[in-house]
Structure 1
Amino acid sequence: MHAIYKICPASAWREAERQGVFRGSPDDIRDGFIHFSTAAQVAETADKHFFGQSGLFLIAVDADALGKALRWERSRNDELFPHLYGELDLGAVIRIFDLHTRSDGSHDIPELEP
């Protein structure tokens, strides 16, 4: 198994749990795919897109369970990022972490499986 990660407001994730599927954030919907990060990319993603935000979850997902809808595409720093073209089946979720916000606006990133 190989994990990828999604940072998501807790309120949006709770709504996804009620609906049984995650369709993405407003940015994901605008871009046409759900943005994910690898373990090595999470900290920079948190700083770049979520700095100062609280009430966030970090969702660990089994990339192997996503099939052909998951594509690896070049993005920030010319690195390959996982992009899901479609809805996220909650059955692929491995773990949900609370992403704690520090007083300086950065986040405590848990130790993650690559």
Structure 2
Amino acid sequence: MLIYKILRAPEWDALQADGSTEGAPVDLADGFIHFSTAAQVEETALKHFADVPGLLLVAVDADGLGDNLRWEPSRGGDLFPHLYRPLRDSDVVWHRPLPLVDGLHHFPDMG
């Protein structure tokens, strides 16, 4: 199963340069890296990244994260994937831009 992380361009650049990241400021504050499922990620973009340009959608294979990935209740009681270790460049299955189209992020095919 693929799970998704929305990154700003500087966060992606840091992941590429360092080979791993502890995430965005919200991830550092919460002590884990926030991910979303395919069904959750568009609402995540609307709620936390409205009108933010230059975003990237990063896909990660949840099965490859082992016990470091926990499914925990969050928005509306839904279970969200949370990673309790740095995200590694080697975890990334693919990444694609999230362009803004008429004020909304245009999501790629996430298959």
**TM-score normalised according to structure 1 size:** 0.94
Matches for 1:1-114 after TM superposition, within 5 Å: 2-103=1-102, 105-113=103-111
Letter of the structure 1 residue corresponding to residue 107 of structure 2: I
What's the secondary structure of 1:54's corresponding residue?
coil
What's the secondary structure of 2:110's corresponding residue?
coil
CA RMSD of aligned residues (A): 0.8
Q: Structure 1, residues 74-93: CA drift from partner, whole Å, max 9, x if none?
A: 00011000000110121111
Letter of the structure 2 residue corresponding to residue 71 of structure 1: R
What's the secondary structure of 1:94's corresponding residue?
strand
What's the secondary structure of 1:112's corresponding residue?
coil
Identity %: 50
Aligned length: 111
Q: Distance in 2 between matches of 1:72 and 1:82?
A: 5
Letter of the structure 2 residue corresponding to residue 14 of structure 1: D
List 4+ stretches of structure 1 deviating above 2 A.
none
What's the secondary structure of 2:106's corresponding residue?
coil
CA contact (8 A) 2:15 2:88 kept: no
**TM-score normalised according to structure 2 size:** 0.96
Q: Distance in 1 between matches of 2:35 and 2:16?
A: 18
Instruction: Please state which structure has a larger fraction of its residues in strand.
Output: 2
What's the secondary structure of 1:37's corresponding residue?
coil
Gaps of 5+ in 2: none
